[in-house]
Structure 1
């Protein structure tokens, strides 16, 4: 994966690529990364690019535990003995990456789910993030809790006011290409998007998208996408349907290219919507000839 180091403002930078990676130069030749990309090769490239700038990575903050965000952790930590910071749930997965394909499959996963896109190499989380600020040798980063895309997802704000938002929201291009984006917590996602509508920062950099100064319309588009999916599911459940039947409808409606990995990612996201609607009291489970089906709850 090719990366280009771009200056944002002050001591805040980004490695631009398929997955954007944040970098903050803390002085004295030390820097902090926000996420590390998808694999060892990307991690090596980052190390080498920073050597040219006479910078060494001594710390990594992971926004969440998905493999495309932590894939460079292992090689960077192995070579530089750096600290890794993450929230409690995400940290457990970073240290035990088999959990990601495990929760997608709900059991010991088949080998086709144990690929670099869904299962990174293990790395050691040296500090669990619990507060709203993280102090790394005198440099304070604001930590913003943004559950939704993953359960314990965070965004990181540099001292320059650059908000590295991870996968808390997606670009318009990504939403148009992937109309059924991955979520683990729909209620959390809606609250996180509402939060992002209410706050103002000078710069926003998502992991999948471009640097922007104003994301209000983009956040509204992300929220509208979720609401439209909710409406579609409720319409489908005007008659009893199994999760498998609903999944088939999702694949057709959103023209999703079906692969084994994509099937289970779609299933997991659909499950998040079903849990949200069930917890909200909109839908219920009934059994028909020993088959579990969902349907809109009688008012």
Structure 2
């Protein structure tokens, strides 16, 4: 494990979920996305201790537990730790069963709960919620950016070193090539967030899941790959719905056509993303529905 300097006071630690670290002049620190609970946060704490760094703040970019799950492990060690998130993310972090219910579409079950519930033994409390704009922590300003889409509570954090932590707004090219049907809650908001990212003044981008930091120049190519992936599935769904079809049958065609890796959790994630695309096309007034023999069927409107 290594504390990697990006620029100035801004660092990150590679992992299954990358963790951002901002080190203040007084050798205290802010962490962005501590990741899952377990052995990794213990190693991060040991590394901070070896460097005489005292953790003061955690910011969670969004409400998925692979980003926030370790919060309580850090709080147990740093008694005065202050944990922050967006207002919407706070709901899901403090009540993680809500995510399972949303994904399932009703009461959840052990098939999903075992995958999605936080491994933290105790309830995580968010001390303060963040809105888009400037927040001052330990007399240093950070820019909070609303990046709705992947989730409703997703935010980005821009440090004064012009390093931007984007959570899961983007994923690395290697991961995108394997998992290009992106998990998106609100496609319209996601597209707005992607377009917002294009005009933000940053020098380096840190992904929640990716091997390396990305320069502003290289981010353009990665953004284009995400836009291509989105458009690929939008167009496939438009085409499939030239014949009226139910949601489950449509999902089956998308999964088989694209050879998507599937399990119980992934199936429901794909279904959630499919509903997001359908809602987007409804907003564009491109598709409609009928009820036939007790089944709800969507179809593409004829021009």
**TM-score bracket relative to the smaller structure:** over 0.9
Indicate the RMSD between aligned Cα atoms, in angstroms: 1.3
8 Å CA contact 1:47, 1:56 repeated in 2: no
Task: Give, in whole Å, the separation in 2 of the partners of 1:113 and 1:5.
Answer: 34
Q: Choose which of 211, 223, 238 in structure 1 pairs with 2:213.
A: 211
Q: Which position in structure 1 is the counterpart of 2:61?
A: 63
Task: Give, in whole Å, the separation in 2 of the partners of 1:276 and 1:97.
Answer: 26
- Which sections of structure 2, spanning at least 5 residues, go unmatched? none
Task: Give, in whole Å, the separation in 2 of the partners of 1:63 and 1:119.
Answer: 18
CA deviations on 1:100-136 (whole Å, 9 max, x unpaired) are 1111111221112123x52213311000102411111
8 Å CA contact 2:131, 2:144 repeated in 1: no
Task: Give, in whole Å, the separation in 1 of the partners of 2:75 and 2:96.
Answer: 16
- Which sections of structure 1, spanning at least 5 residues, go unmatched? none
Q: Which position in structure 2 is the counterpart of 1:76?
A: 74
8 Å CA contact 2:21, 2:31 repeated in 1: yes
CA deviations on 1:242-264 (whole Å, 9 max, x unpaired) are 11011101211221222111111
Q: Choose which of 21, 29, 37 in structure 1 pairs with 2:27.
A: 29
Q: Choose which of 257, 261, 268 in structure 2 pairs with 1:264.
A: 268
Task: Give, in whole Å, the separation in 1 of the partners of 2:137 and 2:231.
Answer: 39
Cα displacement (A) at 1:218: 0.9
Q: Which position in structure 1 is the counterpart of 2:102?
A: 103
Where do 1:177-256 residues align within 5 Å? 177-209=178-210, 210-213=212-215, 214=217, 215-256=219-260
The number of equivalent residue pairs is 296
8 Å CA contact 2:132, 2:146 repeated in 1: no
Task: Give, in whole Å, the separation in 2 of the partners of 1:68 and 1:253.
Answer: 29
Task: Give, in whole Å, the separation in 2 of the partners of 1:146 and 1:6.
Answer: 25
Cα displacement (A) at 1:175: 1.1
CA deviations on 1:137-168 (whole Å, 9 max, x unpaired) are 20111111111111121110112111111111
Task: Give, in whole Å, the separation in 1 of the partners of 2:236 and 2:260.
Answer: 16
8 Å CA contact 1:70, 1:94 repeated in 2: yes
| 1:99 counterpart SS class | helix
| 1:218 counterpart SS class | helix
Where do 1:137-216 residues align within 5 Å? 137-209=138-210, 210-213=212-215, 214=217, 215-216=219-220
Q: Which position in structure 2 is the counterpart of 1:40?
A: 38
8 Å CA contact 1:23, 1:31 repeated in 2: yes
Task: Give, in whole Å, the separation in 2 of the partners of 1:163 and 1:254.
Answer: 32
Task: Give, in whole Å, the separation in 1 of the partners of 2:153 and 2:206.
Answer: 19
| 1:54 counterpart SS class | coil
Cα displacement (A) at 1:80: 1.5
| 2:297 counterpart SS class | strand
| 2:116 counterpart SS class | coil
CA deviations on 1:262-288 (whole Å, 9 max, x unpaired) are 111111111111111112211112111
| 2:181 counterpart SS class | coil
Task: Give, in whole Å, the separation in 1 of the partners of 2:61 and 2:289.
Answer: 34
TM-score by length of 2: 0.94
